[in-house]
Amino acid sequence: MLLYIAPVFLPLIGAAITGLFGRFLGDRPSQIISCGAMGLAALASIFVFNNVVMQGEVQQIFLFNWMTSGSFQVDWALRIDELTAMMVFTVSIVSFLIHVYSIGYMAHDSSIPRFFSYLSLFTFFMLALVTSDNFLQLYFGWEGVGLVSYLLIGFWYKRPAANAAAIKAFIVNRVGDFGFGLGILAIYVAFGSVSFDTVFAAAPEKVGSEFEFLGHYFDVLTVICILLFVGAMGKSAQFLLHTWLPDAMEGPTPVSALIHAATMVTAGVFLVARTSPLFEYAPIALAVVTVIGATTAIFAATIAITQNDIKRVIAYSTCSQLGYMFFACGVSAYSASIFHLTTHAFFKALLFLGAGSVIHAMSDEQDMRKMGGIWKAIPLTYMLMWIGSLALAGIPFFSGFFSKDVILESAFAASTGLGHYAFAAGIAAAVLTAIYSWRLIILTFHGKPRADEKVMAHVHESPPIMTVPLILLAVGAIISGYLLLPMVGTETDFWGTSILVLPHHHALEGAHHVDFWVKALPTIVAVIGILAAYFLFLAKPQLPALLAERLRPLYLLSFNKYYFDELYDWAFVRPMKYLGHGLWKQGDGGVIDGVGPDGVAATAVAIARRVVRLQTGYVFHYAFLMLAGVAVIITWFLILG
């Protein structure tokens, strides 16, 4: 039992020690403690993976009762099945590598213990999220990772931009959580429980039953699944609720890699996969997931091609890749989705940390317009970025190739209108993915240096404490696709009962039997994209500016992220402030006080002034009080007597 608890609670212990006593311990001991705890957790997670996935020993561990009120009962408990074990494995390994990398990256920061404490705390919440046994505990982890994300985005709290981004992330996530919360309530009302076992077992019986929601009757499972998905949209930065993720890049780069690429943002995907026993019976909800996922995939990719901040390009890329994972879920290919989640965790963390290494080399410069011509100075980073990009683009034998292909094939094999939409969007996004990835590589590493001489003189390769984790991630980015291929195999029973796919949802099965052109197309478009990027940004570097000029409205739309921030500011933020101010001054001050107490008080004081001539100082208060008291008592006795 201890083995299964260890990966979850070791990071918490590390976080508590470094957080509470870090200032007294000093930087180095704090690093050792948090990395040590995290390393042990990662080690334990390997055993957990072996026991649960390889040996099939699913674990359920009861800790203690959380709350009980009538029939509403929730426990703190761990549930470690195949899906969870896979997530625990990915999260703790990636987290450990990023912990180590951070020792180097954050070496010059003034609050190192705080940083490591947050990082470990995040890992704890993330692991609590994936190991939860019921919806409410999942919500605990969910809010917890959101909190630490808020703390880490705003880690450099001197910067106003970082603070603003942190709050934005929290609030946008709260909008998603609003849906998630309602979803949990609906689950309780429909099922009388929030525990996974009970809910999932009862799901088939609920097919077709309706309940009243906001004055109308709806299908229970559809409502529940859509509400849960709203939560997933917030956390995974899907279309409409995506605005926080690019801003979140204000946080330190290891944070972007761990939280905003590899783990936390994939929690939404995990949620949908976890609740597959509900989604499977809610075809409308699945359709919504497909549409939103596919739209996000293409939408975010069109923004990524015009951004100039190296981290923002990767952030939009993450957004887009999460879209792939969602539409995979939407066509019931959950295992393909989790497969991509895992490979993505490796190569996207690699890309972010590689970008971090570049930023480190360029004296904290993030604007690609001020980079260029540095590949010879930092060859190792350059090579690692290539590996990450190849995996992302889905070039054969790199991990992304296996996982992205199976997603696109599944979408095609679903042979529904929406499936084909997702397939088309996915292919289009794949072209764009290749273009923006190589645009990033070319602008960053090739061409003439655009930084000033002082920066250029200082360009240097990162220390081994940073590059070794990068190399390990690169190994993962290369081999994880091939190694984990059984996840989507049809012969092996990788997932046990942790993911439910109804027999007539055969997209994944069909993915193995699609025509050759479907299998080849993703690779072909990726190669075309790379060549296009080469042509546009290296061979004819004057072309992009010309294109931007010709297609100015489109360019501006993409460059300004479709004006979503401005739209939300206009539609929500400003009206709310206006309303708040108006209600305060006009509502409270004008109407309520004017009619009520101030009017009455004015009259009372006026009368009192005439009666009593002792209106100055405290005496007046006492007198008024005594009068009031006496009046009450006399009235009482008079009426009573």
Partner 1 sequence: MTDWPILSTVTFLPLLGAAFILLIRGNEATVARNSRHVALWTTVATFAISLLLIAGFDTTTAEFQFEEFTPWLPEFGIGYHLGIDGISVFFLLLTTFLVPICIISCWQAVQTRVREYMIAFLVLETFMVGVFCSLDLMMFYIFFEGQLIPMFLIIGIWGGARRVYSAYKFFLYTLVGSVLFLLAILFMYFQTGTTDIPALMSHVWTPAMQTWLWLALFASFAVKLPMWPFHTWLPDAHVEAPTAGSVILAGILLKMGGYGFLRFSLPMFPDASEFFMPFIFALSVVAVIYTSLVALMQQDMKKLIAYSSVAHMGIVTIGLFTFTGQGIEGGIFQMLSHGVLSAALFLIVGVIYDRMHSREIAAYGGLVHRMPVYAFVFMVIMLASIGLPATSGFVGEFLIFVGVFQVNTWVAMLGLTGVILGAAYMLWLYRRVIFGELTKENLKSIKDLNMREIGFFAPLVVLALFMGIYPKPFLDVLHVSVENLIAQTEMARMGGAEVVADLVPDALAKVLR
Half-sphere exposure of residue 19, counting CA atoms within 13 Å on the CB side?
14
Closest CA to 253 of 381, 129, 340, 130: 381
Q: Can you tell me the distance from the alpha carbon of 10 to that of 12, in angstroms, rounded to the nearest whole number?
A: 5
Q: How far apart are CB 568 and partner 1 at their closest, in Å?
A: 13
Q: Can you tell me the distance from the alpha carbon of 91 to that of 89, in angstroms, rounded to the nearest whole number?
A: 6
One-letter amino acid of 226: I
Q: Can you tell me the distance from the alpha carbon of 169 to that of 399, in angstroms, rounded to the nearest whole number?
A: 30
Q: Does position 601 bind partner 1 by CB under 8 A?
A: yes
In Å, how far are 204, 319, 436, 520, 631 from 527, measured between CA atoms?
45, 22, 13, 11, 92
* Cβ nearer to partner 1, comparing 125 with 495: 125
Q: How far apart are CB 261 and partner 1 at their closest, in Å?
A: 24
Q: Does position 629 bind partner 1 by CB under 8 A?
A: yes
CA angle 348, 229, 572 (to 5 degrees): 90
Considering only 42-50, 69-77, 80-88, 380-388, which stretch makes contact with partner 1 by CB under 8 A? 69-77
Site for partner 1 in 188-207 (CB under 8 A): 188-189
* Cβ nearer to partner 1, comparing 11 with 330: 11
Q: Does position 590 bind partner 1 by CB under 8 A?
A: no
Q: Does position 323 bind partner 1 by CB under 8 A?
A: no
Residue 450 phi/psi, 5° resolution? -110, 0
* Helix residue spans in 50-134 (DSSP H): 82-105, 112-130
Residue 55 phi/psi, 5° resolution? -90, -15
Q: Does position 524 bind partner 1 by CB under 8 A?
A: no
Q: Does position 574 bind partner 1 by CB under 8 A?
A: no
Residues facing residue 210 across a β-bridge: 219
Q: Which of 580, 609, 611, 627 binds partner 1 (CB under 8 A)?
A: 580
Residue whose structure tokens are 């906001």: 214
Q: Give Rg (Cα) of the chain.
A: 28
Q: How many residues bind partner 1 (CB under 8 A)?
A: 67
Q: Does position 72 bind partner 1 by CB under 8 A?
A: yes
Residues facing residue 74 across a β-bridge: 67
Q: How far apart are CB 249 and partner 1 at their closest, in Å?
A: 18
Tokens of 472: 């390990």
Q: Does position 163 bind partner 1 by CB under 8 A?
A: yes
Closest CA to 495 of 348, 333, 268, 343: 333
Q: Does position 604 bind partner 1 by CB under 8 A?
A: yes
In Å, how far are 186, 208, 211, 225 from 215, measured between CA atoms?
14, 18, 10, 19
Q: Does position 619 bind partner 1 by CB under 8 A?
A: no
Residues facing residue 64 across a β-bridge: 76
Q: Does position 181 bind partner 1 by CB under 8 A?
A: yes
* Cβ nearer to partner 1, comparing 36 with 575: 575
Is the distance from CB of 344 to CB of 236 less than 8 angstroms?
Answer: no
Q: Which of 150, 327, 445, 494 binds partner 1 (CB under 8 A)?
A: 150
Q: How far apart are CB 540 and partner 1 at their closest, in Å?
A: 45
Q: Which of 54, 161, 600, 627 binds partner 1 (CB under 8 A)?
A: 600
Q: Which of 21, 47, 66, 562 binds partner 1 (CB under 8 A)?
A: 66
Tokens of 267: 């929690």
Q: How far apart are CB 632 and partner 1 at their closest, in Å?
A: 7
Q: Which of 11, 104, 144, 293 binds partner 1 (CB under 8 A)?
A: 144
* Cβ nearer to partner 1, comparing 546 with 632: 632
Give me the residues that bind partner 1 (CB under 8 A), please. Answer: 23, 64-70, 72, 136, 139-140, 143-144, 147, 150, 154, 157-158, 160, 163, 166-167, 170-171, 174-175, 177-178, 181-182, 185-186, 188-189, 212-215, 576-577, 579-581, 583-584, 587-588, 592-593, 596-598, 600-601, 604-605, 618, 621, 625, 628-629, 632, 635-636, 639-640
